[in-house]
Amino acid sequence: MVTVMIADDSKFMRKWLKRFIQARGYQVIVEASDGQEAIDLYKQRHPTLVCLDITMPKVDGLTALREILDYDSHANIIMCSSMATHNNIEEANQIGAKGFIIKPYFEQLDLVLRKTITST
């Protein structure tokens, strides 16, 4: 069973992503509302996949990405953010994100989810 963590400071976005992901047969096992919570919950629950926002309180998503990958270099993390500047996308890719979805343009999310899951 593919398990997913959604990390986003917007409750609306977490709910929307949860419905989208569950409709594709994946199990959302945990939600985080800030970057530090995402790091801590990843270490506790070890989900198969993480959908991670960039702009979050306490710890931003790029820092959380780095810390999760430092903890588990095989973590499958997809950035899902409206902060899709060239620098953010490039930095996320260099750190090790498996994909970058620009909110609210989710047309590619299903493809990125499937591609990331099949590469594990």
Split into its structural domains, the chain has a count of 1
> Which stretches within 23-107 are classed as H helix?
35-45, 61-71, 86-95
CATH code, domain carrying 85: 3.40.50.2300
Domain extent for 81: 3-118
- Widest pairwise Cα distance in the chain: 34
Pick the closest to residue 112 from 50, 40, 32 (CA basis). 50
Give the model's pLDDT for residue 59: 96
**How many whole angstroms separate alpha carbon 42 and alpha carbon 98?**
16
DSSP letter for 68, please. H
Q: Is the pTM of this model over 0.85?
A: yes
Question: Which one is predicted more confidently, 91 or 117?
Answer: 91
Does the pLDDT value for residue 104 go beyond 80?
no
Residues 2-59 have pLDDT tens digits of 899 999 999 999 999 999 999 988 999 999 999 999 999 999 999 999 999 999 999 9
Give the model's pLDDT for residue 1: 83
